Chain A
Amino acid sequence: MKGVGKRTIPLLVSVMVCLSFMGCNVARLTLNTTLTPENVAFIVPGKTTLTEVVTKLGTPDTITDADSGVVATYRFLDLKYSRVNFGWLAKPWTPVDPDVIFSRTGLGVDEFQVFYNPDWVVVQQGFQRSLTRPPFHPYPF
């Protein structure tokens, strides 16, 4: 009897763990490589040139005109989506298709802007917003 219990408990735990993954969807969308303050630490306003920035970071996504010179913008996006349908737990026992869905989408979007003077030397640089890594769990509350 003790042996049966020893085998049944891990089996039950495994079944419960498997059931909790039922109806799960995990998706992620990334646009370009996410830049961090460490990646752009080499940029020194008044010294670094466009060529040096392009060599390390690649070409910007857009270049636009500004009063003081030119603005180069690097855009990046990290979208995380997860969804779990607890209705799957009831599917074996009900004739209908019940849905109890928890889902959450985290949209991590940011851009890095570099301002150049007319001689293509960096004047200033900065991130538009501090990108906080979006969560990867479906709990929406």
Chain B
Amino acid sequence: MKVGRCLLGFVIVAFLLQGCAFSRGTLGDDVKTEIVATIQKGTTTKTEVVNLLGAPDRLLQLNGRDVFHYYRYDAKAGSLLLILLNFTRLSVKSDDVFVIMNRDGIVEDVISSKRTDSLGFRFWPFGE
């Protein structure tokens, strides 16, 4: 009886999911918030930042200050392929960390945000 119910559940789920496609693409390493939190303004040095986060993805020069830019992109696509009528939605978001160094090579400011946490698979292309 239990096996029969499980089988029926599996058939229902398989039937509901037919024609669904899930795709995902990422670029760059995951930016770990707990590591970013260990960077202290006014004390952490450039070498320590490189040891913690690795070499930056981009190195910028702003007003004579070095800025290390670390980023990661995440893309999620959901498709509903109903043969006659197809819906697809692709959403892309990024996590960025900017570490601003002063002229002595000490961290002046750290700005970071994790936008990919709120990124989900979406199928419906209309609305927001």
User: A residues touching B (Cβ–Cβ < 8 Å)?
Assistant: 21-33, 50-51, 54, 58-61, 63-65, 69-70, 80, 88, 118, 120, 136
Contacts and interface: CB of A to CB of B under 8 A. Distances in A.
Interface of B: 60-63, 67, 69, 84-94, 96-98, 109, 111-113, 115, 125-126
A50 B97 CA distance: 14
B126 A136 contact: yes
B87 A26 contact: yes
A54 B97 CA distance: 11
> What 3 pairs across the A-B complex have the smallest Cβ distances?
A58-B113, A28-B125, A59-B96
B69 to A, nearest CB: 7
12 contacts: A21-B85, A22-B84, A22-B85, A27-B86, A29-B91, A30-B90, A33-B115, A59-B96, A70-B63, A88-B84, A118-B63, A136-B125
Nearest to A117: B63
Contacts of A61: 94, 96
B92 A24 contact: no
A54 B125 contact: no
A25 to B, nearest CB: 5
A69 B64 CA distance: 11
Contacts of B94: 32, 61
B90 A29 contact: yes
Contacts of B84: 21-24, 88
A29 B92 contact: yes
Most chain-B CB neighbours within 10 Å: which of A24, A30, A61, A69? A30
A121 B91 CA distance: 32
Contacts of A30: 89-92
A50 B88 CA distance: 36
A50 B113 CA distance: 13
Contacts of B113: 54, 58-59
Nearest to A24: B85
B97 A59 contact: yes
Nearest to B63: A118
A50 B110 CA distance: 11
Nearest to A120: B109
Given A26-B88, A70-B62, 15 more contacts: A21-B84, A21-B85, A27-B90, A28-B88, A28-B90, A30-B90, A32-B92, A33-B93, A33-B115, A59-B97, A59-B112, A60-B96, A63-B62, A69-B63, A120-B109
A30 B85 CA distance: 21
A64 B58 CA distance: 12
